[in-house]
């Protein structure tokens, strides 16, 4: 049992006898705490007490210090269903406008990423239509996608910029990320990804664009409080290790952590760059080699794998999961929600793909969207596991074993989502509270 020990239980019992109560208590839950030690950190007949937005007690129901009704103002019965930490989607490009249908149709005819770009699509096509769009339209379309993530059990997500590549559109999309975090019941981490592609105005002046990002856009985003991390695309089609180093130096000068799209299409030395800066994560990694994996392990950098892009783009190269395991590199998964290569808001589908395409176990897949996903955002101290003192972000699922979450194809068995101790979504009431929520 994970609890407060004998002294803590005595104090709780005394508090209950005096009328002090927790805000809520969940009982009869199969708690997949996702802590280390036992498979899924499972407490089979568990209870979890929540107060002031935090987890204040958990353990086996038989160890509750008093009758449930004496402990909490509201008691919820989980009816032996699985409860997990709220999911963490640690890599999304969810703030965008329009759709990727034309790109998809090129792919269905046997086209490639290069064909999409030649036809005016891909990331540059996305940037052009985002620049032309009204902010209200971008926000409205993005809000619908985020709502689907919440209904799929997500309580924390990252939102990258990179859909504009110029000053004003990048700032606009980051403002929208902040707006979504204020208006919707989830925590939003805003990442600056101006180095997502090469801005057309700087096509033949890439070093100048790197300086523009470092000296103009990033400081402007910092002044408005819009950015929590910095990302980039390091590849022969994108930015060199030297150029990313320059941008990361600017980021660290502002006290921002870094992460990187790395080794997606070739072994380019990108993962070593982000490891050198002790970055939060290196993402994609289909072509990463063992020396870079060792560097990530030494730096504590998470490997974030994105099976949606492999699936959509028809990539056959897979990340070297066995090598990542061997060197102890934590593995996260994410939806990578974007219109070009991963148009999805389904974490459980990504868990399934992570298992079937990349060879993860069902426990690794769930950890990838909880404990390790939180680590990939630098938030492991406050969320990602069900532990006393952590933010009371939870998800209840219509399954009896946690491994079932990864076993079904394109299913969403989410019954309820709890954010900061408050139930903000129930499947039986398919809408959620849209009032302002603080980000704990």
Residue 65 CB coordination number (10 Å): 21
Q: Treating both helix axes as pointing N-terminal to C-terminal, what angle do 167-183 and 122-132 enclose, rounded to 10 degrees?
A: 80
CA atoms within 13 A on the CB side of 262: 29
pLDDT, mean of residues 107-121: 86
C-beta separation of 42 from 33 below 8 A: yes
pLDDT of residue 320: 98
For 13-17, 93-97, 105-109, 136-140, which range has the lowest pLDDT when averaged over its residues? 13-17
Confidence class for position 176, pLDDT limits 50, 70, 90: very high
Structural domains of the chain, ranges and CATH numbers in brackets? 5-85+385-432 (2.30.40.10), 87-376 (3.20.20.140)
- Over residues 272-322, the pLDDT tens digits come to 999 999 999 999 999 999 999 999 999 999 999 999 999 999 999 999 999
- Statement: residue 92 has pLDDT above 90: yes
pLDDT, mean of residues 193-203: 93
C-beta separation of 421 from 37 below 8 A: no
Residue 138 CB coordination number (10 Å): 23
Of 414, 411, 380, the closest CA to residue 90 belongs to 380
C-beta separation of 261 from 283 below 8 A: yes
pLDDT of residue 121: 81
pLDDT of residue 219: 98
Q: Tell me how far apart the alpha carbons of residues 144 and 129 are, in angstroms, rounded to a whole number.
A: 19
- Over residues 326-370, the pLDDT tens digits come to 999 999 999 999 999 999 999 999 999 999 999 999 999 999 999
pLDDT of residue 389: 97
Of 393, 386, 305, the closest CA to residue 350 belongs to 305
């Amino acid at each position: 049992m994970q609890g407060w020990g004998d002294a803590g239980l005595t104090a709780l019992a005394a508090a209950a006898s005096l009328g002090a109560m927790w805000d809520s208590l969940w009982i009869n839950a199969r708690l997949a705490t996702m802590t280390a030690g036992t498979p899924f950190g499972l407490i089979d007949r568990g209870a979890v007490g929540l107060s002031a937005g935090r987890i204040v007690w958990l353990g086996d129901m038989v160890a509750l210090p008093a009758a449930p009704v004496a402990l909490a103002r509201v008691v919820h019965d989980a009816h032996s269903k699985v409860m997990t930490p709220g999911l963490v989607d640690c890599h999304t490009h969810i703030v965008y406008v329009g759709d990727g249908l034309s790109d998809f149709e090129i792919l269905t005819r046997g086209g490639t990423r290069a064909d999409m770009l030649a036809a005016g699509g891909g990331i540059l096509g996305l940037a052009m239509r985002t620049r032309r769009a009204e902010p209200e339209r971008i926000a409205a379309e993005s809000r619908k996608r985020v709502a689907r993530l919440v209904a799929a059990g997500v309580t924390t997500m990252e939102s990258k910029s990179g859909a504009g590549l110029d000053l004003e559109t990048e700032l606009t999309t980051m403002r929208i990320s902040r707006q979504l975090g204020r208006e919707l019941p989830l925590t939003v981490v805003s990442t600056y990804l101006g180095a997502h592609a090469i801005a057309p105005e700087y096509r033949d002046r890439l070093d100048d664009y790197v300086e523009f990002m470092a000296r103009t856009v990033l400081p402007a985003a910092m002044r408005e409080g819009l950015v929590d991390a910095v990302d980039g695309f390091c590849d022969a089609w994108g930015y060199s290790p030297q150029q990313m180093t320059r941008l990361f130096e600017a980021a660290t000068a502002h006290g921002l952590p870094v992460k990187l799209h790395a080794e997606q299409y070739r072994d380019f030395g990108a993962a070593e760059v982000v490891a050198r800066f002790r970055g939060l994560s290196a993402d994609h990694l289909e072509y990463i080699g063992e020396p870079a994996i060792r560097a990530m392990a030494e730096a504590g950098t998470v490997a974030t794998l994105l099976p949606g892009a492999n699936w959509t783009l028809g990539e056959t190269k897979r990340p070297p999961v066995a090598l990542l395991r061997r060197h102890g590199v934590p593995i996260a998964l994410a939806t990578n929600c974007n219109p070009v290569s991963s148009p999805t808001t389904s974490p459980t589908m990504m868990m399934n793909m992570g298992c079937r395409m990349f060879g993860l176990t069902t426990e690794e897949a769930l950890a990838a969207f909880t404990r390790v996903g939180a680590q990939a955002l630098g938030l492991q101290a406050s969320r990602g596991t069900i532990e006393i003192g952590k933010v009371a972000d939870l998800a209840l699922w219509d399954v009896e074993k946690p491994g079932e979450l990864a076993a079904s194809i394109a299913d969403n068995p989410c019954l309820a989502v709890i954010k900061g101790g408050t139930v903000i979504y129930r499947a039986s009431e398919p809408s959620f509270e849209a009032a302002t929520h603080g980000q704990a």
